């Protein structure tokens, strides 16, 4: 009786080990499939975001080889920063930045917040007075003395939102 009890316990232990092995081996396979599917989705998302970023930067001085050749600048990032700082320097005026093409309204002056150089000639910027927002398209020129001059091409002021 003792031998048969040990035999039955041994058979039950073997059967439990077989089922446990099958369970964990199939669980690993499912997890690997899930992880590979998630990895594929993430790679597709990264590719999509990269393509969107490339499309968004299609109109930028950094990605425009012809504009860079026209400027004959070695360091485009330094040039980009120089032009931005030259434009943002006009924000210090008591009347606001004159290149927003908007007069000062009351106590609040219009200042330029963000600037993007589109190519060797154009800039797009947004501006606000803290309540009303707008966008402006500017031409810029590099003078012979290496100063930067600007010309407003068009400006748009968004209507004030009523809440």
Instruction: Name the strand (E) or helix (H) holding 54.
Output: helix 2-56
Helices and strands in the chain: count of H runs, count of E runs: 3, 4
Q: Residue 60 in contact with residue 117, Cβ under 8 Å? A: yes
Q: What is the pLDDT of residue 140?
A: 93
Tell me the CA distances in angstroms from 79 to 2, 6, 10, 84, 120, one per residue in order: 92, 86, 80, 9, 10
Query: Cα separation of 126 and 87, whole Å?
Result: 12
How far apart CA 18 and CA 84 sit, in angstroms, is: 70
Tens digit of each residue's pLDDT, the chain (163 residues):
777 888 888 888 888 888 888 887 777 777 888 888 889 999 999 999 999 988 888 888 888 788 888 888 778 888 889 999 999 999 998 888 899 988 887 788 999 999 999 988 999 999 998 888 999 999 999 888 889 999 999 999 988 876 6
Q: Report residue 119 as tokens.
A: 């190519």
Q: Give the tokens for residue 65.
A: 């080889």
Q: Are 149 and 155 in contact (CB under 8 A)?
A: no
Q: Is the dihedral of CA 103, 114, 148, 65 positive or negative?
A: negative
What is the distance between the alpha carbons of residues 66 and 162, in angstroms, rounded to a whole number? Answer: 44
Q: What is the pTM of this model?
A: 0.69
């Amino acid at each position: 009786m003792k031998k048969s009890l040990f035999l039955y316990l041994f058979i039950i232990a073997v059967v439990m080990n077989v089922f446990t092995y099958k369970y964990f081996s199939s669980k690993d396979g499912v997890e690997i499939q899930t992880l590979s599917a998630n990895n594929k989705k993430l790679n597709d998302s990264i590719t999509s975001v990269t393509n969107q970023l490339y499309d968004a930067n299609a109109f930028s001085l950094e990605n425009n080889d012809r504009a860079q050749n026209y400027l004959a600048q070695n360091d485009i990032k330094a040039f980009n920063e120089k032009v931005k700082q030259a434009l943002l320097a006009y924000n210090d005026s008591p009347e606001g930045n004159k290149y927003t093409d908007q007069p000062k309204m009351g106590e609040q002056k219009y200042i330029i917040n963000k600037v993007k150089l589109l190519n060797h000639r154009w800039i797009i910027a947004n501006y606000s007075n803290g309540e009303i927002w707008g966008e402006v398209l500017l031409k810029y020129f590099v003078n012979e003395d290496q100063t930067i001059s600007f010309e407003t091409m068009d400006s748009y002021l968004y209507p004030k939102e009523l809440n």
